[in-house]
Amino acid sequence: MWVIGGYNIPGNIEYGGALINFNFKPRTTYFNYREMNMFVCNVSISDTAGNLQFYTNGCDIAGANDTILPNGDNINPGQLHYIDCVQNMRGYASNHQSAVILPLPDTQGIYYLFHESQSIVYNPTIITTDKLLYSVVDMNANNGKGQVVEKNALVMFDSLAYGEMNAVKHANGIDWWIIVPQESSNQFYIFLFTKDGIVDTLTQTIGDMPPPDKEGYGQTVFSPDGTRMIRYYPYTPIMNFTFDRITGYFTDYSTFSVNYGSDFAAQGGCAISPNGRFLYIAALLQVYQFDLWASDIEASQVKVAVWDGFLDPVAISFRKDLGTQPKSVKNCFSE
């Protein structure tokens, strides 16, 4: 079950939240009004049976019944929390892939929410992602509805990428590797998450430097078997990494480019097929496919979808909505 959606509109109970239910084939989508607004930070988790456990918009943590869990308020505290969550009531603007929920290995009902926190830096006035935090949810508490038992604990203080955080299973099938890039950098922090929490922190510098002007427009995605990671930015070469799930290090790196032609691709996202073979690049109005098993990946590009102009009642395009990511305080106050 995925919790998605946007803002609530006063007086309109048909706008705001939605759910995608993967327990059915084909999966179902339906409207789900909730008081919690979503902006760009959005993550949810279900148990192994597909039952929704909890979700967050980066401001608060809510349970499956759409009410804030005990002690689940005021995550990512600070001035940006006040602007986004209290003043504008829109949801935290820390970007897509700025929060990850993982079950605590070898433990029933305990989940760790890893979330990036932002601060305002002055002269010049910008917003920076400067902390990686974690909060702990015990789904055994509160009569099985869940309770936040620890929140806003510091993992790392550093300038981090706007999102692009990802996680992949360790080769032992139990523990996790959490990958967090530095801001506008080709350096990665790689955290080992076990039943004892974060037990090791690795660093590795590999790949191309992402363009500073595209900070906040990037995305990472792992192949289902965890051996490949793609890092994508519009109009820059796609970074193709090989990952060792035993050591936690990237072992190889290459790039290939997208031929956009006359297509417009200022925003976009990426995904890998369930069998790990095909990479899909969604570039606003079209979707491209690449064969990752081909000897020449770049030459395998095929355009597989084009937006047909359908409105319901507004345009829905093939994009990851990064255009609203604020980079300045002026933008934060504008909505």
Which amino acid is residue 332, in one-letter code? Answer: C
Phi then psi dihedrals of residue 219, to 5 deg: -150, 145
- N-to-C CA span, the chain: 30
pLDDT reported for residue 325: 32
pLDDT reported for residue 326: 29
Q: State CA 223 to chain mean position distance.
A: 15
pLDDT reported for residue 323: 34
pLDDT reported for residue 335: 26
Interatomic CA distance for residues 19 and 38, integer angstroms: 13
pLDDT reported for residue 9: 72
pLDDT reported for residue 225: 97
78-87: long-range contacts (C-beta < 8 A, 24 or more apart)? 78/117, 78/118, 78/119, 79/119, 79/120, 80/117, 80/118, 80/119, 80/120, 80/127, 80/332, 83/332, 83/333, 84/39, 84/58, 84/59, 84/332, 85/58, 85/59, 85/60
**Which residues have C-beta within 8 Å of that of residue 252, sequence separation ≥ 6?**
241, 242
Global pTM value: 0.91
Question: Average pLDDT by consecutive 10-residue portion of the chain (335 residues)?
Answer: 80 77 87 85 94 96 96 96 92 93 97 96 89 98 97 97 96 98 96 98 96 87 98 94 98 96 83 97 92 98 90 66 33 27
pLDDT reported for residue 109: 96
